[in-house]
Amino acid sequence: MPGGGQCPDCGSTELVEDSHYSQSQLVCSDCGCVVTEGVLTTTFSDEGNLREVTYSRSTGENDQVSRSQQRGLRRVRDLCRVLQLPSTFEDTAVAYYQQAYRHSGIRAARLQKKEVLVGCCVLITCRQHNWPLTMGTVCALLYADLDVFSGTYMQIVKLLGLDVPSLCLADLVKTYCSSFRLFQASPSVPAKYVEDKEKMLSRTLQLVELADETWLVTGRHPLPVITAATFLAWQSLQPSHRLTCSLARFCKLANVDLPYPASSRLQELLSVLLRMAERLAWLQVLKLDKRSVVKHIGDLLQHRHTLVRKAFRDGTAEMEAGEKELRGRCQGPEQGKEEVASSSLDLPEGKRPASPTPLLPPCMLKPPKRICPPPPVSTVTGDENISDSEIEQYLRTPQEIKDFEKAQAARQAARSVSNPP
């Protein structure tokens, strides 16, 4: 605020230096009278030192917005551009950020939280448009901790009262699979490892659907399942050359990070496929294991609906009759004997079918780590007498106090010696 100067109209001394487009003006903030104004046009010699002013900076809109909010909004736009999102997403994300900023808790939050808030707004926008963006990607781009991100995300969803749909698995499969660098030969990718994108995508989708149906996806992070499914799909398309390649090597070739749970998801998926293979007539005679079943994934996926129904029974239902299940293409003589066996019974001869195993999530199939005994019956009323001896057991005797103090002093002395000032 410049000192001195009075408005000729109303006589107030509240004069503000403001600019209207590229013309600087001295304006009275009470009545709006323009007291003095600069030159609107510039001469050629003046222009040498001048710079272009963007429209958003020339209008006064950013003066009402705090600097940190401006920074945040800029980060939101940058993030949208880095992720190559459509322009409508940018506007929505910016609107969410502004909406969040109206809450005092957000305005007073630490910078780290405001930075993470940028990611949250973009993520919510993507989720609402079914754009498959994972939290891991956003955190990696923002160099943010997933814990901080999750706290801010849950808070902002609750604060703004938003309805955020779940991550769309099919779209995630498409985007994630497309990021695998296996569709063209290169120095790192031998010709036998190159695969057609469409075939791989469709097979991966089928495998992911199978995993979803057999309880391998619920409650778990979606990405490792997709990694495992992509690997199996890729292997099964040319098993003769690719069975020797491990999951870790595959991810390295494809230039994709291997998520840690992917190997256990792979084992789970393979065991599901093995159970299904036991129900397929021409595969029963072959003693399949987790490696050889990969060769037959194509067949298994083709008949997956019937096979899942046959191979697994409802976890809570009674066992169905075994005879019904093997109609049609049964070749070998099968006894169809009903076995009241648990799922651990793996038949050595491929002739008799195993009894259907329950279709349950893996956490329910594992034996309980420790059986919690029901807590003992407690007849506590809360008003019982408390004996002195019981309380005395928690108190130190005077001798113990002296010893303790001595020990503490010694420790303090030792610490000050070891940490010289």
Partner 1 sequence: MVLQRQCNKTFLLMQGQRCCEYADDLAPPGSPLLSPIVPDDGYIPNTSNSETVFNSHLQEVKGASGHFSSVDLSFLPDELTQESKDQSVIRSKQDIEENCKTQSQQSRLSLPREQDMGLGLINDSTLSKSHSQAYPGDADSVQPSPEKPNSTPLMSITPMTPVTPVSECSGIVPQLQNIVSTVNLACKLDLKKIALHAKNAEYNPKRFAAVIMRIREPRTTALIFSSGKMVCTGAKSEEQSRLAARKYARVVQKLGFPARFLDFKIQNMVGSCDVRFPIRLEGLVLTHQQFSSYEPELFPGLIYRMVKPRIVLLIFVSGKVVLTGAKERSEIYEAFENIYPILKGFKKA
β-partners of residue 314 are 359
Instruction: Tell me whether residue 150 or residue 306 sits nearer to partner 1 (CB atom).
Output: 150
Residue 56, Cβ density class (10 Å: 0-12 exposed, 13-18 middle, ≥19 buried)? exposed
The CB-of-223 to partner 1 minimum distance in angstroms stands at: 8
**Least distance from partner 1 to the Cβ atom of residue 196, Å:** 30
CB of 230 to partner 1, least distance (A): 18
Pairing of strands 312-314, 357-359: parallel
Q: Which is nearer to partner 1, 4 or 374 (CB)?
A: 374
Angle, helices 135-142 vs 111-128, to 10°: value is 140
Of the pair 63, 383, the CB lying nearest partner 1 is at 383
In whole angstroms, the minimum distance from the beta carbon of 170 to partner 1 comes to 13
Question: Which helix (H) or strand (E) element contains residue 300?
Answer: helix 297-302
CB nearer partner 1, residue 89 or residue 149:
149
Asked if residues 326 and 356 have their Cβ atoms less than 8 Å apart, the reply is no
112: enclosing H helix or E strand: helix 111-128
* Footprint on this chain of partner 1 (rule: CB under 8 A): 134-136, 146, 150, 153-154, 157, 163, 166-167, 213, 215, 217-222, 314-316, 359-361, 363-364, 374-375, 377-384, 386, 390-396, 400-401, 404-405
CA distance 25 to 302: 76
Q: Which of 218, 226, 213, 289 is nearest to 262 (CA)?
A: 226
- Closest distance of CB 215 from partner 1, Å: 6
Cα–Cα dist 173/222, whole Å: 9
| Shorter beta-carbon distance to partner 1: residue 48 or 382 | 382
Length of the chain: 421
Q: Closer to partner 1 at the Cβ: 327 or 366?
A: 366
Q: Count Cβ atoms within 10 A of the Cβ of residue 344 and give its class: 0-12 exposed, 13-18 middle, 19 or more buried.
A: exposed
Residue 204 CB, nearest approach to partner 1 (Å): 19
Which C-beta is closer to partner 1: that of 50 or that of 391?
391
Q: Could you tell me the smallest distance in angstroms from the CB atom of residue 382 to partner 1?
A: 4
CA distance 421 to 209: 64
